[in-house]
Amino acid sequence: MLQDIDLLIEAGSFVALLGPSGCGKSTLLRFISGLDTPAAGSITLSAEDGAQSSARTKLAFVFQDAQLLPWRTVLDNVALPLELQGSSRAQARERARRPLAEVELSDVHERFPDQLSGGMRMRVSIARALVTEPSVLLLDEPFAALDELTRQRLDERLRKLWQTRRMTVIFVTHALAEAAFLAERALVMSRRPGRIVLDHALQLPSERNMDLRTNVDFVTQTALLYRALQQHGALDDAPHVLQGGGV
Amino acid sequence: MKRSTTRELALSVLPPALTFVIVIVLWEGAVRAFAIPKFLVPPPSDVLIATWTERASLGAALLTTAQGAGLGFLLSASLGTSVGLIFSLSRWLERGLYPYALFLQTVPIVAVAPLLVLWFGPGLRAVAVSAFIVSVFPIIANTLAGLRSVDPRLSDLFRLYGAKLGDTVLKLRLPTAIPSMMTGLKVASGLSVIGAIVGEFVAGFSEGNAGLGITVLSAYRQLRTDLLFAAVLLASLLGLLLFALVSSLNTLLLRRLRVPG
């Protein structure tokens, strides 16, 4: 499914992983998280002090849907990872307040997921991921199911969170503009078997807001990613390119 | 808001009540008009009179059957959910034992009932075991299905944070399984009354306590069809009552879990 992936991701970077559906980008993310193990090859996570064993516990995952427990309040959902790691319920609830404040949901602690909008649920999901103070945050097409405006707001918020927290973020998406807006580095994958066909450092200012989306540089960078996808027969709606390409 | 709930209530009560009245009137009329012998089909008025005049013995019989069915139901609820949980934790145990649990579902209870009397003695215990055997399988199967229905990504989440098995069961699998478990319990509640009546047919009397099954048998022998009808109706009502109890528990739990019913 994946082939010849040789990748070094620096601590504190923001990487977008792009590719057509089914190319194996989610699989790669699951390998990194340790949820699945590759048939061949290895993945090493090293903490800044070089200790490898503790690194995986400092990892968090955000899924495509918010994946909240419907019977738990917002606060209890965010406290869940700490409870699972052995904290007492009271302690976990106390520590859950900060990430909820970071995603501006302090006023809905005692609500249940079914009382929230899709965008709010996703923010709860992000707060839940942040509660363990992860050094690596993995996101698998987290905003794909949301409307465009909500999605852009969440992109902006995630970018800010990354800047204040200085964690490594790996963001899987199939949306080119989202990748360009968020990341410092974009990796474009080909159709299955997935290979990395472009490894590009995005040349955009570090302060990014809504205005950037209409900026010429932004459009140029997005177009560059688009061409990489197209050239390698990776666009879903261009099978003829795949036939003729013969990469 | 209030008006619509009244309307809803009326909509759920009125049609069945109307059906009931129409059937009773037609039944009474037909029995009288065609002069059907009372030992074949008694008119509803006779059934009502029999219920009233025999109210003491019918009440006692109802209580006895309720005990047997209730005990059997509690037994299958506790054992059934436990077995379902154990099966969900071990593929080996599930593969090894599930076919034999299925056997409980297919065994003809009437044929096994005499054995139960031999093993557990006549009376309440044999009746309860009979109710248990008939009602336990739907609970096992539904518990197992519910525990297996956990969203794989939520399992991933728990795995990612190194959740202990106890936490995964208590905080994820059991809450997820409850709607399905309750479905099993609802099916089992009706079955347990059937199992109790069948048990009584064979395991009958002990210490002067006779359930509705015994009432049915003796009414049949005396051609007291009116009394037989009364006993059958009471047995059905008992099943309905148990079902209603489980249903309200179900509504309560689902609201608590915020799962759409």
Is residue B104 scored above 50 in pLDDT? yes
Tell me the chain A residues in contact with residue B151 when contact means C-beta distances shorter than 8 Å: 67
Residue with tokens 């399992």: B155
Tell me the chain A residues in contact with residue B164 when contact means C-beta distances shorter than 8 Å: 84
Q: How far is CA B54 from CA A21, A154, B68, B189, B210, in A?
A: 73, 73, 21, 27, 14
**Sign of the Cα pseudo-torsion (A132, A134, A140, A145, in order):** positive
Tell me if chain B has a CB within 8 Å of the CB of A132: yes
Tell which of B156, B158, B160 to mutate to test the A interface (max A CBs under 10 Å): B160
- All domains of chain B in start order, with CATH: 44-257 (1.10.3720.10)
- Stretch B51-58: mean pLDDT, rounded? 94
Minimum distance, in Å, between the CA of residue A35 and any CA atom of chain B:
7
- How far apart (Å, rounded) are the C-alpha atoms in residues B28 and B46? 9
pLDDT above 90 coverage of chain B, percent: 77
Q: What is the ipTM of this complex?
A: 0.86
Tell which of A30, A36, A69, A172 to mutate to test the B interface (max B CBs under 10 Å): A69
B259 contacts A84? CB cut-off 8 A = no
pLDDT in tens, B163-182: 999 999 999 999 999 999 99
Residue type (1 letter), B60? A
Tell me the chain A residues in contact with residue B156 when contact means C-beta distances shorter than 8 Å: 35, 61, 63
Residue B115 exposure: Cα atoms within 13 Å on the Cβ side:
9
Tell me if chain B has a CB within 8 Å of the CB of A84: yes
Helix (H, G, I), strand (E, B) or coil at A168: strand
Q: In this predicted model, which residue has the larger pLDDT, B149 or A234?
A: B149
pLDDT recorded at residue A214: 84
Q: Two tokens at B244?
A: 């209603």
- How far apart (Å, rounded) are the C-alpha atoms in residues B178 and B146? 7
- Around Cβ B4, how many Cβ atoms within 10 Å? 8
- How far apart (Å, rounded) are the C-alpha atoms in residues B212 and B154? 49
B162 contacts A67? CB cut-off 8 A = no
Is residue B207 scored above 80 in pLDDT? no
A65 contacts B159? CB cut-off 8 A = no
Q: Does domain A1-47+136-247 have CATH number 3.10.20.90?
A: no
pLDDT in tens, B5-32: 788 888 888 998 999 999 999 999 999 9
CB-CB: which of B160, B167, B259 is closest to A33? B160
A83 contacts B153? CB cut-off 8 A = no
pLDDT recorded at residue B139: 96
CB-CB: which of B161, B175, B257 is closest to A84? B161
pTM score of the predicted model = 0.84
Residue type (1 letter), A235? L
Task: Count Cβ atoms within 10 A of the Cβ of residue B41 and give its class: 0-12 exposed, 13-18 middle, 19 or more buried.
Answer: middle
B206: Cβ–Cβ under 8 A, 6 or more apart, which residues? B121, B122, B123, B124
pLDDT recorded at residue B261: 55
Tell me if chain B has a CB within 8 Å of the CB of A88: no
Residue B154 exposure: Cα atoms within 13 Å on the Cβ side:
20
Tell me if chain B has a CB within 8 Å of the CB of A69: yes
Q: In this predicted model, which residue has the larger pLDDT, B184 or A10?
A: B184
pLDDT recorded at residue B84: 95
- pLDDT, averaged across chain B: 91
pLDDT recorded at residue B189: 95
Tens of pLDDT along chain A (247 residues) come to 777 777 888 888 999 998 887 788 888 899 988 888 888 888 887 765 555 555 455 899 999 889 999 999 999 999 999 999 999 999 999 999 999 999 999 999 999 999 999 999 999 999 999 999 999 999 999 998 888 888 998 999 999 999 998 899 999 998 888 888 999 999 988 887 778 888 888 888 888 888 888 888 888 888 888 888 888 754 444 444 333 333 3
- Stretch B256-261: mean pLDDT, rounded? 78
What single DSSP character describes residue A59? E
Closest by CA position to A199, among listed A168, A166, A243, A232: A232
pLDDT in tens, B222-242: 999 999 999 999 999 999 999
Minimum distance, in Å, between the CA of residue B160 and any CA atom of chain A:
7
Q: ∠ at Cα B230 (B225, B236), nearest 5°? A: 125
- How far apart (Å, rounded) are the C-alpha atoms in residues A195 and A2? 6
Minimum distance, in Å, between the CA of residue A81 and any CA atom of chain B:
6
Residue A169 exposure: Cα atoms within 13 Å on the Cβ side:
30
A83 contacts B258? CB cut-off 8 A = no
Minimum distance, in Å, between the CA of residue A129 and any CA atom of chain B:
10
CB-CB: which of B157, B160, B258 is closest to A71? B258
Q: Are B12 and B192 in contact (CB under 8 A)?
A: no
B256 contacts A70? CB cut-off 8 A = no
- Residue spans per domain, chain A: 1-47+136-247, 66-134
Tell me the chain A residues in contact with residue B172 when contact means C-beta distances shorter than 8 Å: 69
- Around Cβ A133, how many Cβ atoms within 10 Å? 12
- Stretch B143-161: mean pLDDT, rounded? 94
Minimum distance, in Å, between the CA of residue B43 and any CA atom of chain A:
52
Tell which of B149, B157, B158 to mutate to test the A interface (max A CBs under 10 Å): B157
